[in-house]
Every structure is written in C-alpha cells, then in structure tokens.
C-alpha cells in the first residue's frame, strides 16, 4: 500500500484543492497516470501516480482543500477495495436532525465534508474511534462544544484534527473561539454548537450558495488589498484606431490560412510595450521606500475564465513582433480557458492590459494588479464623426483609461505615457518595427 500525497506544485503553494478525481476506487493505476486535477493558488495541475497498483481509497474528496504532504489517496495491490461509504445502522440512534452525541464512536465517512459545507446531515456511521486522529486538546474542545469529530477536517500532521480545526468550526458557527485552555469557563456558557443545523444568519431560502474556489478567494483578497492600499488615479484618452484597424486587416489578409490572426488587442499590447520602454517608471513597482524599475517588459493580458479572471503574461513583450505576440496570446488564452495555465504562465507580469472592447463598453476603468504600478483598460471602438479640416469625417475612436499607483506615478508622466500609446496606435506601422 502506498500513499499519494498532496504535492507541492509551485514555490508558494501551501495547500491544494482536489478539483476533480479522474480515477475511482478499484481502478487499475499505471505509473504516470493522471489521478486527479489539483487546484493551487495559481493554476490547476495534474496529480500523477508515481506507483502502479489499484486505487484503494480516496481520502480527500473533490472540493476539499488540504495542506501539502497530506495523504489524498491510497494505492494498493487491489486485494481489498473498501466499498465507498457503506452506511451502517446508526448505533446511537442520532438521526442528524439535531446535535449528535459527541464522543460517539464514529468512522469518518469517506465523503464527509466540513460541517459548513455539508448540504445535508450525513448519516452517522458506527465504527472504530481510532479512525479519527485528533490531538488530546482537540478532543477535549470537541467534547466541550458538542462537536462531532467525524465531521471535522483535520489539517495537522497526517490529517490530525488540532485546535485550529475546532476553532474553524466554532467560528463558522458564530461561536466565540474557545477561551484559552487554562481559563476554566468562558464568561458566557458556550452554546452547544448544533453542527448540522443552519448557521445563524443563514441566507433566505431563495438564494443559492456557491462556495468560492481557491482562485476566486485569492482574486477577492488581492483586489481588495489593491483597491484599499494603492491610491489609484485615472487618466483617460481617446485613440483614433482607423489606421490600426486597416493595418490589422492588411496583415491578416496577407497571412496564410494556417497562421494566427493578429487581434486589435495584440496591437495594443505591443504599443504598450513600446511605450513602457520610453517610460520605465510606469514599468515599475514600489517596495517600502523604494521604486523598483523592472528590466524586462512583461505585459499581462486579462482573460476571463469561468472561475474568475486570470492574467497570463507575455514575456519581453517589447522585443517580440506582433505576430509572435498574437501567437503567444492565443495559446495563453486557450490554456486559460482550459484551466491549464502553469504558474510560470502567470508569473513576472510588469504591466497589464484589460480589454472589454468586444463587449460594447463605453467606458472601463480597471483595478491595478499588485505589485504592478499601472493597468490599461480598453473600452469599445466606435464610429464617430470627427472634424478633419473643418469637415465631419467618420473615424473609429477607442476610449482607454490608465489606472496608476499615485505613490510612484504622477499625472503628467501617466498622461505622457498614454500620449505615446496613442501616438503608436495612430501610427500603426511603428508597431511593426
């Protein structure tokens, strides 16, 4: 019998979520087979089997998050495959409607989720007490608060339930975390926590609760951090895209059937990269009391995916031609949509472009991606009459807004940078140089 552990898939990864199991108990496993998809803080990656055998047991269910190193599955010789979740007659008579008698000897049902996530009370199974690993303190706290340990996800070494896990449960149920153990009793006698019951302040029945994915939670946290800690300011401009659109058409018409088509966004990305060469302070970051200018220009492109938003990066954008940029962007977008981006695809961005032009947006302002100093938001291009030599002429005008970090960037710099982007796009042949 060998254990399959949660692997470390990136330098910063501390825990991972099993997004999907591709094998089920009883399946024959060859070395190198993909067992599951793991969602990390950066991307979704494959969990490979390093040993051959039979998938004996799945220890971590889809959607569950566990720290690196925790056993997620067992691969064995296939001798005795345990049947998934065989509910035994409830020994205690508890029916899950209310509080379960706590130290009830139970075995963790394979599909047990943490209490907050369970949609309905799981059946209590009888089994050996030894199946649950918990620290003595966690056991005592569970007893004091009437918590069923079989419903608690252990995050300690080897999946042991520790104080933190009990405190998680108490917090989810609005109970104060246990008083320091030395204190005999909290001032208010702790309410027994009815685990399977709805938490106080439960939403009205017409709502649907969707648990945020790991990536979504990260996005939520980082955007909040960005908007709350970075003093944003905004400069907008309109670009006459008529010539750029014409150039794009020429480029794509002359390209072969198989070659990648250049998009408007690719031209904008290239224009930004060239403008960043002239304005290195826009391609920078602030760290404590230092302005750090990046040597490389790596432009990230915001891509909307079902799970939220990711920003894969095109490295050394300024030294790449528009066709190369188009090819790389297309590949990255495809990977993003298939949830196949690797951490390396997401690392090292120094500036970002977010484009809602294809969605009929008249104005659009974006939130800065820390640690970058600026992001360019692109709205739709519209046909408008503009005066040319006193005569109204129809031109394609595109609105864009740069969001900038006012700690290191100032209005004049940003306006000049934007002017340069505009100049490049209005003289699109400069993008081909």
Q: Hey, which residues are catalytic here? A: 406
The binding track of 170-189 with respect to other proteins, each residue x by CB under 8 A or -, is ----------xxx-------
Q: Are 412 and 420 in contact (CB under 8 A)?
A: no
Tokens of 166: 């009990």
Beta carbon nearer to other proteins, 124 or 299: 299
Q: Are 222 and 214 in contact (CB under 8 A)?
A: no
Residue 403: DSSP 8-state = E
How remote is the C-alpha of 404 from its chain's centroid?
24
Beta carbon nearer to other proteins, 314 or 424: 314
Q: Are 36 and 21 in contact (CB under 8 A)?
A: yes
- HSE of 100 in the Cβ direction (CA atoms, 13 Å)? 26
Binding to other proteins, residues 188-247 (CB under 8 A):
218-219, 221-223, 226
Residue 354 DSSP SS3 = strand
Interface stretch with other proteins, choices 88-96, 119-127, 156-164, 378-386 (CB under 8 A): 156-164
Contact between 408 and other proteins per CB under 8 A: no
How many residues at the interface with other proteins, by CB under 8 A? 47
Binding to other proteins, residues 91-150 (CB under 8 A):
135-140
- 343, 365, 382, 426: residue in contact with other proteins (rule CB under 8 A): 343
Nearest distance from C-beta of residue 167 to other proteins, angstroms: 7
Contact between 292 and other proteins per CB under 8 A: no
Residue with tokens 């569950």: 64
Beta carbon nearer to other proteins, 153 or 263: 153
The H-or-E segment that residue 224 falls in is helix 214-229
By DSSP bridging, strand 28-29 and strand 34-39 are: unpaired
- 369, 381, 401, 403: residue in contact with other proteins (rule CB under 8 A): 369
- 68, 305, 309, 356: residue in contact with other proteins (rule CB under 8 A): 309
- 8, 14, 176, 359: residue in contact with other proteins (rule CB under 8 A): 14
Beta carbon nearer to other proteins, 56 or 265: 265
Tokens of 71: 């056993």
Walk across the sheet containing 44-48 and list its strands.
Answer: 44-48, 34-39, 15-21, 65-67
Please spell the DSSP secondary structure of 334-390, one letter per residue: HHHHTT---HHHHS---EEEEE-GGGT-S-------TT-SEEEEEEEEEEEEEEETT
Contacts to other proteins by CB under 8 A: 10, 12, 14, 41-42, 67, 135-140, 155-157, 162-164, 167-168, 180-182, 218-219, 221-223, 226, 300, 302, 308-311, 313, 343, 346-349, 352, 367, 369-372
């Amino acid at each position: 019998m060998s254990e399959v552990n949660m692997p470390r898939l990136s330098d910063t990864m501390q825990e991972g979520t099993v997004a999907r199991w591709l094998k089920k108990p009883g399946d024959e496993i060859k070395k190198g087979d993909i067992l599951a998809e793991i969602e990390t803080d950066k991307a979704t990656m494959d969990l490979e089997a390093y040993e051959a055998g039979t998938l004996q047991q799945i220890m971590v269910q889809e959607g569950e998050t566990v720290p690196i190193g925790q056993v997620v599955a067992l691969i064995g010789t296939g001798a005795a495959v345990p049947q998934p979740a065989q509910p035994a007659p409830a020994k205690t008579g508890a029916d899950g409607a209310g509080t379960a008698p706590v130290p009830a000897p139970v075995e963790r049902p394979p599909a047990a989720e943490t209490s907050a996530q369970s949609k309905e009370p799981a059946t209590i199974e009888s089994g050996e007490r030894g199946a649950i690993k918990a620290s003595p303190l966690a056991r005592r706290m569970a007893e004091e608060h009437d918590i069923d340990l079989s419903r608690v996800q252990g995050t300690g070494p080897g999946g042991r339930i520790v104080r933190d896990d009990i405190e998680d449960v108490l917090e989810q149920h609005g109970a104060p975390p246990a008083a320091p153990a030395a204190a005999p009793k909290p001032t208010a006698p702790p309410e027994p926590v009815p685990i399977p019951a709805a938490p106080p302040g439960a939403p009205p029945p017409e709502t649907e609760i969707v648990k945020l994915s790991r990536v979504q939670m990260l996005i939520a946290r980082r955007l909040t951090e960005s908007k709350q800690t970075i003093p944003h300011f905004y400069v907008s401009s309109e670009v006459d895209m008529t010539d750029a659109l014409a150039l794009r058409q020429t480029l794509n018409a002359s390209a072969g059937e198989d070659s990648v088509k250049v998009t408007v966004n690719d031209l904008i990305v290239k224009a930004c990269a060239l403008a960043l060469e002239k304005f290195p302070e826009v391609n920078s970051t602030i760290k404590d009391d230092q302005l750090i200018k990046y040597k490389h220009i790596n432009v990230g492109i915001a891509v909307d995916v079902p799970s939220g938003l990711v920003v894969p990066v095109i490295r050394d954008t300024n030294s790449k031609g528009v066709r190369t940029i188009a090819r790389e962007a297309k590949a990255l977008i495809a990977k993003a949509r298939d949830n196949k981006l690797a951490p390396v695809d997401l690392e090292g961005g120094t500036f970002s472009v977010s484009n809602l032009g294809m969605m009929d947006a008249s104005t659009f302002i974006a939130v800065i991606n820390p640690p970058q100093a600026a992001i360019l938001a692109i709205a739709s291009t519209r046909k408008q009459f503009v005066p040319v030599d006193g005569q109204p002429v129809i031109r394609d005008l595109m609105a864009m807004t740069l969001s900038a970090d006012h700690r290191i960037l100032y209005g004049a710099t940003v306006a000049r940078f934007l002017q340069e982007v505009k100049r490049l796009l209005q003289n699109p042949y400069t993008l081909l140089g």
